[in-house]
Structure 1
Amino acid sequence: MLLMLAEPGMPLERATHFRRSVAGAESNVAAGLARLGHWARWIGRVGDDPAGEAVLRELRADGIDVSCAEMDPQAPTGLLLRDSHPHRAIDVQYYRGGSAASLLSPAQITPEALAGVRVVHVTGITPMLSEQAAQATRTLIERARQAGAAVSFDPNVRRKLGTDHDWIRVVGPLLREADLVLAGEDELELLLGGGAGEGAKALLTMGRARTVVVKRRDHTAAAYTDAGQWERPPFEVPVVDPVGAGDAFAAGWLSAWLRGLDEPSALAEAACVAALVVQAPADTDGLPTAAARDRALTGFTRGTDSVHR
């Protein structure tokens, strides 16, 4: 979607100045991985309109491959309006009913689009946009299996997209199809019932999951595998804008996973990337390069000079 972000601290209904950016859970993760030095491809749809041109231009600027993106001459690019404040609830308004993204279809998920990929990341938002998008998501998971890629899944529950029952019906089964699950504590409780820890262990035994990472309400995180459980507290940083932290965490985790790091190191890198993102406005402004991540992580863990000279 195109993101129009109100001036800092101003309530959305009173804002007169907006900054244009890009929003979208999967595109945020793609941007995070690209900045961390990984090749990333975004498969999606925008309108053949100025907003769509702006979205694709910004994705390209981050080094994301958009060769499999489509521009729809009939449907518009989705729009997100929101404000930004570190100490009160943020007002987020979505305008994506009938958008190009909601018309994503299985036909767009070709084997060629996934050739050679190591991991395919998707969130629960996409299948909740429409029944057609849900079919495309299921096709994506099937194609990923055929390509030998791992499936990474983040429920990313957005209640404006449907009732609790809708999320349980549409997104709940997808958790069991993922190799890597990155979910909020409340999301696992909703989609699986019971406690998040019990849900994570159930996915390891009854689903395909090799790793389940739970982002808790207190901002700690835990990783579960058959080999054990690891926990990570958050890095204490001043928060400018909390939106995008979950996607940044996912990008940090996936980067570590792609590089073969162990779970404690992956949790630390994920927490570091998330901590950098919440210190900047918009969803992607704070996403670091690999060098910036490493400098920040050293500063967080060893208390080194915060000024890079």
Structure 2
Amino acid sequence: MLLMLAEPGLPLERAGHFRRSVAGAESNVASGLARLGHWARWIGRVGDDPAGEAVLRELRADGVDVSCAEMDPEAPTGLLLRDSHPQRAIDVQYYRTGSAASLLSPAQITPEALAGVRVVHVSGITPMLSPQAEQATHALVERARQAGAAVCFDPNVRRKLGTSHEWIRRVGPLLREADIVLAGEDELELLLGTGEDEGAKALLTMGRADCVVVKRRDHSAVAHTAEGQWTQQPFAVRVADPVGAGDAFAAGWLSARLRGLDHPRALAEAACVAALVVQAPGDTDGLPTAAARDRALDAFLRGTDSVHR
């Protein structure tokens, strides 16, 4: 979607100035991975309009492959309006009913789109957009299996998209189809009706997951596997805008695992990327390069000079 971000500190209804950016759960992760040095492809739909052109241009600028994105000549690009406050709830207004993104269909999920892919990442937002977007999500999981790619799933629950029952019915089953689950503590409680330990155990034993990462309410994160579990505390930073932290965490985690790093290091890198993002306004402004991530993580862990001289 095109993001219109209100000037910092002002409530949405009082803001007079907005800055244009791009937002979207999966596209945020794609941009994060691309900035960290990975090849990333985004499969999606935007309108054949100026907003759609802006979205694709910004993704290309980050190095994201948009060759499988489609521009819809009839439906518009979705729009997101929100304000930015470090200390109080963010007001978000979505305008995506009938948008190009909501018209994503299984026909767009071709085997060619997933050729050579190692990991497919998708969020629960996509299947909640429309029945055909839900079908496209299931087609994506099936195509990923056929391509030999792991499926990473983040529920990313947004209450404005549906009732609790709708989230449980449409998104809950996808947790059991994922090889990697990145979920909030509250999301597991909603979708599985259990706490962290019980939910992680159920997904590891009865689902396909070999790793379940739970983001706790206190902002710590725990990686659960059959071999054990590891915990990462959040890094103390001054928060400018908390939105986008979950997608940044996902990008940091996937980058580390794609590079063959162990779970403790992956948690640390994920927490570092999330900490960098929340210090900047917008969903993607703070996403780092690999070098910037490494400098920041070294400073967080060892207290080294954070100034790049």
Range class of TM-score, shorter chain:
over 0.9
Please state how far the C-alpha of 1:30 moved relative to its aligned partner: 0.2
Shift of 1:196: 1.7
Please say if 1:82 is aligned against 2:82: yes
Q: CA deviation at 1:133?
A: 0.1
Q: Percent identity?
A: 87
Residue 170 of structure 1 corresponds to: 170
Aligned residue type for 2:132:
Q
Q: In the alignment, what sits opposite 1:307?
A: 307
> 1: distance between equivalents of 2:283 and 2:197?
28
- Deviation at 1:122? 0.1
1:98 aligns with 2:93: no
Alpha-carbon distance in 2 for matches of 1:65, 1:113: 11
1:168-203 C-alpha deviation (Å, 9 max, x unpaired): 000000000000000000000100012122101110
Q: How many residues align?
A: 309
Q: Does 1:182 align with 2:221?
A: no
Superposed displacement of residue 28, structure 1: 0.2
Q: How does 1:90-239 map to 2 (within 5 A)?
A: 90-239=90-239
User: Hey, what's the Cα distance between the residues in 1 that align with 2:308 and 2:288?
Assistant: 14
Using the alignment, how far apart are the partners of 1:150 and 1:25 within structure 2? 18
Partner of 1:244: 244
- Give CA deviations for 1:1-49 in whole Å, capped at 9, x if unaligned: 0000000001100111000000000000000000000000000000000
- Offset of residue 120 of structure 1: 0.2
What TM-score comes out, normalization by structure 2 length? Answer: 1.00
TM-superposed deviation, 1:88: 0.8
Output one character per residue of 1:110-132: Cα deviation in whole Å (capped at 9) or x when no partner.
00000000000000000000000
| Displacement after TM superposition at 1:306 (Å) | 1.8
The CA deviation at 1:308 is 1.1
Which amino acid is the alignment partner of residue 170 of structure 1? Answer: R
Secondary structure at the aligned position of 1:271 is classed as: helix
Aligned to 1:20, the other structure's residue is in SS state: strand
In the other structure, the counterpart of 2:271 is 271
Give 5+ residue unaligned stretches, structure 2. none
Counterpart of 1:290, as a letter, is: A
Equivalent position SS for 1:80: strand
The AA in structure 2 aligned to 1:218 is D
Mapped partners of 2:197, 2:247: distance in 1:
21
**TM-score of the superposition, structure 1-length normalised?**
1.00
**1:59-106 Cα distance to aligned partner (Å, 9 max, x none):** 000000000000000000000000001011110000000000000000
1:287, 1:154 → 2: CA distance? 18
Matched, 1:58 2:58: yes
Partners of 1:59 and 1:216 lie apart in 2 by: 30
Matched position secondary structure for 1:121 = strand
* Residue aligned with 1:39, SS: coil
Structure 1 consecutive aligned stretches of length 4 or more whose deviation exceeds 2 Å: none
Q: Distance in 2 between matches of 1:155 and 1:87?
A: 25
3-state secondary structure, aligned to 2:126: helix
Q: Name structure 1 gaps, 5 residues minimum.
A: none
- Distance in 1 between the 2:51 and 2:16 partners? 19
1:203-252 CA distance string (max 9 Å, x none): 00000001000000000000000100100100000000000000000000
Amino acid corresponding to residue 245 of structure 2 in structure 1: A
**SS in structure 1 at match of 2:308:** coil
Task: Quote the Cα distance in structure 2 between the aligned partners of 1:300 and 1:194.
Answer: 33
CA distance in 1, matches of 2:209, 2:121: 14
In the aligned structure 2, how far is the partner of 1:47 from the partner of 1:197? 42
Counterpart AA for 1:203? L
Q: Which shifted more, 189-198 or 234-243?
A: 189-198
Over aligned residue pairs, what C-alpha RMSD do you find? 0.4
